[in-house]
Amino acid sequence: MTRSILVTGATGYIGSHTCVCLLEAGWRVIGIDNLCNSSPRVLSHIARITDRELPFQVLDVRDHVNLCRLLQREEVSAVIHFAGLKAVGTSVSQPLNYFDNNIAGTLTLLRALHQHGVRKLVFSSSATVYGEPKHVPITEDAPLSATNPYGRTKLIIEQCLADLRQSDPEWRIATLRYFNPAGAHETGLLGEDPRDTPNNLMPYIAQVAVGRRKCLTIFGNDYPTPDGTGVRDYIHVMDLARGHLASLERLFNKPDSFTVNLGTGQGVSVLEAVAAFEAACEKKIPVRFSGRRPGDVASCYASPESARELLGWRAEKQLADMCADHWRWQRNHPNGY
């Protein structure tokens, strides 16, 4: 049987890299996206890398009627659900948009899947569900909380998925808690293309390196970390993409659901990330220090043990690879797609 995988948010940053992995592994893939934060040009780049066309439809996951039409037409056996909004700051100023897009969008998708007998789902969660972690490395059984509306959407969806599993054991759900995705496809054809000023560290540094921004502002140098700057777990987007492949394979082979961290287990400070990027682009990144960003934690990195045990997966790429690939993408596409 040819198994089709429906990928929502397929033209986005993580979705596009995962589509490449799926196509290269021989899966039949159908992508959907409403293009609110991505470009359809991604599709020709995916085709160039994989030598295969990605069947694609512009579709909003809140559009129940057209989702059902698609599910009636195509033999979908599992879904990887990336579609959603992800800017923490905007979620604070526009919580209703976040509740509608992320929570209502996921519920509409789940209802359509339920109606059409699709019972396998991989969901994009985030390390944000750990709130302010008490201990690092963070294991999956750490306490969960939300510190902003974006985080609340991920937490609520996780809880809805747990209820759904409880109600119907036919559901097999992989909940993947990503740490800090970074890097790009090694060809330099796919990468992260933020529409507005980047919120996240790596795309910001890359835009400084390419001359689009003057200087990186480092939020805080008085954290209780070795050099005083915030420590995070940066993970190469292709390692993350492979994590989705491994999760999908497990859903098809084992009749259970699981929740895992996808991170490297390595903490990297802002100053270490800047130094690694400087080495990759062979340029000095101008920095200035400001106060802490509200809501930031000192240190956040994963215990990747569960992913290793359950999926046989571990991150393989290093910080230097993430910076080299991110820089290749940014240099080739100084203004994005």
Chain residues binding ligand UD1 by CB under 6 A are: 88, 126-128, 150-151, 180, 199-201, 204, 216-219, 230, 232, 270, 293, 295-296, 300
**Residue 201 near which of ligand UD1, ligand NAD, none (CB within 5-8 Å, type-dependent):** ligand UD1
Q: Answer yes or no whether residue 105 interacts with ligand NAD by CB under 6 A.
A: yes
Site string for ligand NAD, 114-133 (x = CB under 6 A): ----------x-x-------
CB of 150 to ligand NAD, least distance (A): 7
**Residue 131 near which of ligand UD1, ligand NAD, none (CB within 5-8 Å, type-dependent):** none
Active-site residue, 150 included: yes
Interactions with ligand NAD, residue window 150-189 (CB under 6 A): 178, 181
Exposed / middle / buried, residue 206 (Cβ in 10 Å: 0-12, 13-18, 19+): buried
Query: Please, which residue, 176 or 216, has the CB nearer to ligand NAD?
Result: 176
Among candidates 87, 83, 96, which has minimal Cα distance to 150?
87
Using Cβ positions, the residue closest to ligand NAD within the complex turns out to be: 12
In the chain the first and final C-alpha atoms are separated, in Å, by 36
Q: Answer yes or no whether residue 37 interacts with ligand NAD by CB under 6 A.
A: yes
CA distance 14 to 181: 8
In the chain, the amino acid numbered 239 is D
Query: Please, which residue, 89 or 228, has the CB nearer to ligand NAD?
Result: 89
| Identified binder of ligand NAD from the candidate list 23, 83, 174, 322, rule CB under 6 A | 83
Catalytic residue among 150, 204, 223, 301: 150
**Residue 230 near which of ligand NAD, ligand UD1, none (CB within 5-8 Å, type-dependent):** ligand UD1
Q: Please, what is the Cα angle at 35 between 127 and 217, to 5 degrees?
A: 50
CA distance 53 to 100: 31
CB of 37 to ligand NAD, least distance (A): 4
Q: Is 4 helix (H, G, I), strand (E, B) or coil?
A: strand
Using DSSP bridges, classify how beta strands 268-269 and 231-232 pair: parallel, antiparallel or unpaired.
Answer: antiparallel
Q: Please identify, among the stretches 31-39, 167-175, 254-262, 300-308, the one whose residues bind ligand NAD according to the rule CB under 6 A.
A: 31-39
Among candidates 107, 127, 94, which has minimal Cα distance to 232?
127
Q: Is 305 helix (H, G, I), strand (E, B) or coil?
A: helix
Q: Where are the alpha helices (DSSP H) in the chain?
A: 13-24, 42-50, 64-73, 88-93, 95-98, 105-115, 149-167, 201-209, 237-253, 270-281, 305-311, 319-332
How many residues interact with ligand NAD (rule CB under 6 A)?
A: 28
Judged by the rule CB under 6 A, the positions of this chain that interact with ligand NAD are 8-9, 11-15, 33-38, 60-62, 82-86, 101, 105, 124, 126, 178, 181, 200
Active-site residue set: 150
